[in-house]
Chains A and B, each alone.
Chain A
Amino acid sequence: MTQMPPLVALVGNPNAGKSALFNALTGARQKIANYPGVTVERKSGRATFDDGQPVEMIDLPGAYSLDPDSLDEAVTRDVVWGNLEGHRRPDALVIVLDAGNLDNHLRFALELIAQGLPTVVALNMVDLAERDGLQLDAEKLARALGVPVVETVAVRRRGLAPLMAELERTLKTPRASVEPVAVSFGATNQQARDIARSVIVSETAGRQWTRRLDSVLLHPVAGVIILLALLFLMFQAVYGWSEAPIGWIESGFALLSDAITGALPDGLFRSFLTDGVIAGVGSVVVFLPQILILFLFILLLEASGYMTRAAFVMDRVMAAVGLSGHSFIPLLSSFACAIPGIMATRTIMDQKERLATILIAPLMTCSARLPVYTVIIGAFIPSVTVGPGIGLQGLVLFGLYIAGILGAMLAASVIQRFVTQSRTSSFLIEMPRYQWPRLRDIALNLWQRAWVFLRRAGTIIFAATIILWALLSFPKTPVGSGISQVEYSVAGRIADGLEPIVRPIGFNHDIALALIPAMAAREVAVSALATVYAIDAADEDAAASSLGPKLAADWSLATALAFLAWFVFAPQCISTIAVTRRETNGWKWPIFMVTYLFALAYAAAGITYWTARSFGL
C-alpha cells in the first residue's frame, strides 16, 4: 500500500514572502487548481526531505487572522481547521513571518500555533530586516512561541535545508491531535507585541528606503504623474516591444504552411491544415508576446510592492464612482485577463463594492482583445508619428483602453447607485516594503501564464477553429455557379440570419460570421476572419498574404471603427461569464452583466458607425 505524502500548508500574513518561500521549496514542480467549491486558487507542489520522502506543500492565501474578512481568509481558516469539504486537513503548518514586521505578524502566528498542529516558524526576510537596522534573536523567539523557528531568506534560497529538516523532525514527533479553537483578539495582540519587543537584539534607524521612495511615489502631484507615465509606458511597450517576436512567430507559421503546401497534394486535408489549423491557431499564437509583456508589467508592479501605492494614488478617483483603491488592483489585472481580475476581487472586504467591481471588470481591455485591436488598427490606421515617440496607431490603441475605462467608470457609478445601492466604500490596506522583484519568481509566473494561454490556443481556440473551418467549407459550392464558398456554406447561412440584426450598426456578413465563434474567446474573431478570407481567397497568393490588407480592401473605415467600438464593450468570453457565475453564486449577476454589456456594445458600435458615416468615412 502506498501512503499519501504528508500535507504541509504554508500560512501567514499577506506580504510575508510566503509565495517566494513556496516557490523556493517546490521549484517549478507546481500545480495550480481551485479549492473544491470556490474559485480561490490552490497552489500545490512537491518537496522532498533529506531521506527522499516526498511531502506535498500548499500555499494558503495570505490572511490576518482566522476570523475572516474576505473569501481568501475564509479558505485559509477552513483548510487550517479541516472544514473544507473534499480537502484534507494539513499534517503540519509552516508559519511564514516577516522578520521586519513581527509586532504585526506575531498575533496571527500565536492564533495559528494555538490550533495545535505540528508547526515550524519560518522567520523570513531576515536580510530586509537587517537592512532596516533590526537584529532579532531567533532562539529566544522559539522559546517564547514554543515551536521551532528557522531564519530564512526565501528569495535567496537561504535557510531552506534547515527549515525542511526541522519540519521533518516535527512531523515525526508523535502528538495527540487537537481540536480547532477560536482565539480572541485583545489578549493575543498584547502578547504578540511583548514577544516582538523581547526578541529584538538591537534596533537602529536603518536606511528606510521605503519611506524615501514613498515620499516621491505617493507625492500628491508627482505620484499621479508617475502612475500615468507608468501606465502609458506599459501600453506603448505592449505595442512596441512585441513587433520583432511577432514577426518571428509569423514567419515560423508561414514556413510551416509552405512546407505543408509543398508536401501534400491539393485537397481537403491540406485545406484543413493550412486554412483551418494554421491560419486559425497561428493568428492567435502570434499575440503571445503582447500578452506576456502585459503580464510582465503587472507582475513587476505586484512583486515590487508598487501595486498598493497605485491603489493609494487612485483611491480618491475610484471613490468618485463609488469604488475604492481596493478595486484598482483587480481592475488593473483585468487588463491582462478578466478572469484573474475577477478572482482578485476576493480581497475586497465590502461585498457590494466587490460585486460592482466584478460587473465592470470585463470592460477593462483584456489581452484577448489585443489581437482584434491590433489587426484592425494595423489595417486601417496609418503608421505615422504625431509627436516625439508617439505613433498614431499606439495613440488609437490607448484611446480604446481609455474608452473601456470611461465606460467602466460610468457603469460603476450607475451600478453602485441603482443596483447594489451602496452608500459608502472603504479603503484600508497594508502597504508592503519595496523589494526588487526576483527574476526567478517572475519568470516562473510568466511561464505559467504562457502555458495557460497556449493551452487555450491548443484546445478551445483549436476546436473553435476546426468547427468553423468545417462550417465554412461545407456544403461545397456547385462548380461554375459563381457563388462564393463562404456565402454558400453552413456558416454563411447562419450569418445570413444574424446579419439583419447587426447591419444597422455597420457590420457586414463576415463580421456577423466572426461574432459567433468569438463568444468562445474574443481572439477567435481574428482567426475566424483569417479562416473566412483564406477559404474565400481566389488563389494561393491571395490566401498567403496577411489578414490586414484584405480587411482594408473590404471594409469601410466606418465599419472598422464600429467593430472596434463593439469589442470595447461586448461580453464575449464564455470563461468570464462562467467565473462570474461561480464568484456570485448564481445566474442572476452573469445574466445582468451580459445583458448590459451587449446593450452598451450595440449602442457604442451604432453611434460610432453613424458618426463616422456622417463625416463621410
Chain B
Amino acid sequence: MQLDHLPLNRAAVIRAIDWDVLPDQEGHRLRSLGFEPGVTIEALHKGILIWRDPIAVRVGRMTVALRTNVAAAIDCELKP
C-alpha cells in the first residue's frame, strides 16, 4: 500500500521506496530524515479542507510532513 493511502494512526513498515520517480533533492532529504526500507512509520494527520495534502508522518520519534506525490513513492505494509 502506498503511504498516501495508509489509514491514519496505524503503524506500518516501509517495504520499498521508488527513488527513481523522486527528484534528486527530495530523495536525498527523505533519506536524511530517516526514510528507508524496514523503518516503521505511521500516518498521523492529513492536510486542510478538501485537499488532505500534505501528510504528517511519524518516523522513528520524529514527525515529518510530506506531500502526497512523494508519499505515493513509498510502499508500505500495515503492521498486524
Using a CB–CB cutoff of 8 Å, the interface residues on chain A facing chain B are 64-65, 67, 69, 100-104, 107-108, 132, 134, 185, 189, 193, 196, 210-211, 214-215, 218, 220-221, 223-224, 308, 311-313, 315-316, 325, 349-350, 424, 426-431
Contacts and interface: CB of A to CB of B under 8 A. Distances in A.
B48 A220 contact: yes
B36 A312 contact: no
A101 B32 contact: no
A537 to B, nearest CB: 54
Interface residues of B, number: 33
Given A100-B61, A104-B33, A134-B61, 6 more contacts: A102-B61, A221-B48, A316-B47, A316-B54, A428-B26, A430-B64
A210 B46 contact: no
Given A67-B28, A428-B30, A428-B70, A316 B51 contact: yes
Interface of B: 23, 25-26, 28-34, 36, 39, 44-49, 51-54, 56, 59-67, 70
3 A-B pairs with the lowest CB-CB distances in the bound complex, closest first: A103-B60, A64-B32, A316-B51
Interface of A is mostly: helix
Q: Per DSSP, are chain B's interface residues mostly helix, strand or loop, or mixed?
A: mixed
Q: Which of A214, A311, A315 has the most CB of B within 10 A?
A: A315
B41 to A, nearest CB: 12
A238 to B, nearest CB: 26
A422 to B, nearest CB: 12
A312 B49 CA distance: 12
Contact of A103 (B23, B26, B34): B34
Contacts of B48: 220-221, 223-224, 313, 316
B52 A315 contact: no
B29 A428 contact: yes
Contacts of B31: 185, 189
Contacts of A196: 60
Interface-central residue, A100, A189, A311, by most chain B CB under 10 Å: A189
A428 B33 CA distance: 9
B62 A101 contact: yes
24 contacts: A69-B32, A100-B61, A103-B34, A108-B32, A193-B39, A214-B45, A218-B45, A218-B47, A218-B56, A220-B49, A221-B49, A223-B48, A224-B48, A311-B65, A312-B45, A312-B54, A313-B47, A315-B47, A426-B70, A427-B54, A427-B66, A428-B65, A428-B70, A431-B65
A65 B60 CA distance: 17
A224 B50 CA distance: 12
Contact of A350 (B25, B49, B64, B70): B25
Contacts of A134: 61
Among B33, B39, B67, B70, which residue has the most Cβ atoms of chain A within 10 A? B67
A107 B34 contact: yes
A315 B67 contact: yes
Q: Which residue, B30, B53, B56, B66, has most C-beta atoms of chain A within 10 A? A: B56
Contacts of B63: 210, 214, 430-431
Nearest to B25: A349
A224 B44 CA distance: 17
Contacts of B59: 104
Given A104-B34, A431-B64, A214 B56 contact: yes
Contacts of A428: 26, 29-30, 33, 64-67, 70
B60 A349 contact: no
Given A103-B34, A189-B36, A316-B53, A325 B45 contact: no
A430 B63 CA distance: 6
Contacts of A223: 48
Contact of B46 (A185, A220, A350): A220
A315 B54 contact: yes
Nearest to A15: B62
Q: Which of A65, A101, A427 has the most CB of B within 10 A?
A: A427
Nearest to A220: B48
A315 B66 CA distance: 10
Contacts of A426: 23, 25-26, 67, 70
Contact of A104 (B30, B61, B66): B61
B73 to A, nearest CB: 12
A132 B61 CA distance: 10
Given A224-B49, A312-B56, A429 B65 contact: yes
Nearest to A132: B61
A69 B25 CA distance: 7
A491 B30 CA distance: 58
Nearest to B46: A220
Contacts of B53: 315-316
B28 A104 contact: no
A428 B52 CA distance: 15
A308 B48 CA distance: 14
A119 B62 CA distance: 25
Given A64-B32, A224-B48, A325 B54 contact: yes
Contacts of A224: 48-49
